[in-house]
């Protein structure tokens, strides 16, 4: 791997590192606004070449049936990433703006280690199941259920947790026997392109099995959902873009996996430790500048304790000042771009226009003249009908909303077009369990429980997407089911 300074990444197409037909485009350090280096800029023609390579690798090689090879290659990739983990850490902090402390978990090391789960699952999976003998329509038959790879997978990923999301698609899709074309976000091309270097230098992946196409042009990714040679699209990103992916994929009736937006609620019941719960909510919203789809950004608290809840959340958030992601103490780093910072600021301005107020934060920190920073912010004085309570802001912004009892808290939490995640805090196990059961979401944290793990499926209800990523359920998203019936001898 090249040094971080002045790095120039390439495309990975058909087993080779190649230049982009459109030249290169810069990647920016969001904490300093400095140009780090450049990435290969692909065109739709480059994407077509990558798709053809993936199609050929699936149709003309034994990749889809050679489980031993697949398992070995995925383990090789994991080991290569572990060997270069410190270089990857510095790249992630610089390009993503991810706080250093988060790279030991979900921003880097966790997803790398999770590749072992993908390899182990493929190695131990029951690819065929004997359904037994039967006589449907009077015909004696022996029947088998076979699970097989879907084919060519197009993966389109965002910039907020690039290693986690890239590997959560690459790992299970390839382990299941598919070939894959990855189109990462233009904001974080290196986090994806570096995988191409590691694959070519340290693994036995056959040419065309994994292709990585970076581009500054968002329409290049759209080719994956439009091209008939692609059998499935796996997309993580905004709900609006997810709709476009579904629309494009409908023409060829592709299989589609979508992990989309969220506006998750953190419910505090009236028997909870209010200060501790609100402090955790504030910490969670500030983490990685709130750039996480499952982050709980609505704090739903008992009306009688509303002012105390706002004060507790604000006290914690004020202490989590936006700062240098290189520091081991930083929780809230920069937003990914000037565009995203301006978008978040637009929502803060809207909160005031809607009648809200800031208990802390509210804009750019005075001590950060450069970088795409927004101070962790607590919004008070609004209800669940406010736009800042309904729309995904993707910044370190927590809106505090009052509830009038458990049923009302559940109603507020569920009154959202999204259904990705949720949190419940309280001391009575029966109450917390009852509230958790009523939430229309894909994951629930009760009193600090952690749902993120390699073996736990992740995904949402409603406009937060369809299907599941990670776990055995995530592995099986990349499989088709075939029934084979053989006429039994008389």
**Residues catalogued as catalytic:** 259
Beta strands in 295-426 (DSSP E): 296-302, 357-360, 377-380, 397-403, 418-419, 421-425
CA gap 221, 157 in Å, rounded: 9
CA gap 220, 85 in Å, rounded: 30
Neighbours of 484 (CB within 10 A): 12
Annotate 42-58 with DSSP letters as a single string: --HHHHHHHHHHHHHHH
For the record, the structure tokens of 306 come out as 């509303």
> Among 380, 485, 455, 399, which Cα is nearest to 120's?
455
Q: Are 69 and 63 in contact (CB under 8 A)?
A: yes
Q: Specify the DSSP element, H or E, that contains 265.
A: strand 264-268
Instruction: Give residue for tokens 């023609």.
Output: 45
Q: Specify the DSSP element, H or E, that contains 243.
A: helix 239-250
Strand ranges of the sheet holding 421-425, from the earlier edge strand across to the other edge: 357-360, 377-380, 397-403, 296-302, 264-268, 421-425, 443-446
For the record, the structure tokens of 481 come out as 């089911």
Q: Specify the DSSP element, H or E, that contains 82.
A: helix 67-83
Q: Are 292 and 336 in contact (CB under 8 A)?
A: no
Q: Are 355 and 385 in contact (CB under 8 A)?
A: no
User: What angle is formed at CA 207 by the lines to CA 9 and CA 234, rounded to 5 degrees?
Assistant: 75
């Amino acid at each position: 791997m090249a040094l971080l300074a002045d790095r120039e990444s390439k495309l990975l197409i058909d087993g080779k590192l190649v230049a982009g037909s459109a030249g290169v485009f810069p990647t920016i350090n969001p904490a300093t606004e400095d140009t780090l280096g450049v990435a290969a800029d692909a065109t739709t023609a480059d994407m077509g070449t990558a798709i053809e390579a993936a199609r050929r690798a699936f149709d003309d090689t034994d990749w889809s049936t050679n489980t031993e090879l697949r398992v070995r290659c995925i383990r090789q990739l994991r080991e290569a990433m572990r060997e270069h983990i410190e270089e990857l850490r510095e790249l992630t902090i610089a390009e993503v703006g991810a706080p250093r402390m988060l790279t030991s978990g979900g921003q880097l090391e966790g997803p790398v280690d999770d590749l072992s789960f993908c390899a182990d699952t493929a190695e131990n999976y029951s690819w065929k199941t004997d359904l037994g003998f039967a006589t449907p329509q009077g015909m004696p038959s022996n029947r088998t259920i076979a699970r097989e790879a879907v084919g060519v997978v197009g993966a389109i990923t965002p910039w907020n947790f690039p290693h986690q999301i890239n590997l959560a698609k690459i790992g299970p899709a390839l382990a299941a026997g598919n070939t894959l074309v990855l189109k990462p976000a233009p904001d974080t091309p290196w986090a994806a392109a570096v995988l191409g270097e590691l694959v070519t230098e340290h693994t036995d992946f056959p040419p065309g099995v994994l292709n990585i196409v970076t581009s500054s042009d968002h329409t290049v990714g759209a080719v994956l959902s439009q091209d008939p040679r692609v059998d499935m699209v796996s997309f993580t990103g905004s709900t609006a873009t997810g709709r476009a992916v579904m629309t494009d994929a409908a023409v060829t009736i592709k299989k589609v996996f979508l992990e989309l937006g969220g506006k998750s609620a953190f419910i505090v019941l009236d028997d909870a430790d209010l200060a501790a719960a609100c402090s955790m909510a504030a910490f969670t919203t500030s983490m990685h500048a709130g750039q996480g789809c499952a982050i709980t950004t609505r704090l739903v608290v008992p009306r009688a304790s509303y002012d105390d809840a706002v004060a507790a959340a604000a006290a914690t958030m004020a202490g989590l000042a936006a700062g240098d992601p290189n520091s081991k103490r930083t929780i809230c780093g920069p937003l990914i771009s000037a565009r995203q910072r301006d978008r978040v600021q637009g929502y803060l301005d809207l909160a005031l226009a809607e009648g809200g107020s800031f208990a802390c934060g509210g804009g750019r920190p005075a001590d950060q003249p450069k970088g795409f920073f927004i101070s962790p912010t607590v919004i008070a004085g609004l209800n669940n009908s406010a736009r800042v309570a309904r729309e995904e802001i993707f910044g370190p912004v927590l809106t505090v909303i009052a509830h009038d009892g458990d049923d009302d808290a559940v109603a507020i939490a569920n009154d959202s077009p999204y259904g990705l995640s949720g949190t419940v805090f309280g001391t009575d196990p029966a109450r917390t369990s009852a509230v958790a059961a009523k939430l229309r979401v894909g994951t629930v944290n009760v009193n600090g429980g952690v749902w993120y793990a390699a073996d736990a499926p992740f995904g949402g209800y409603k406009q937060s997407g369809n299907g599941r990523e990670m776990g055995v359920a995530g592995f099986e998203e990349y499989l088709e089911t075939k029934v084979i019936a053989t006429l039994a001898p008389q």
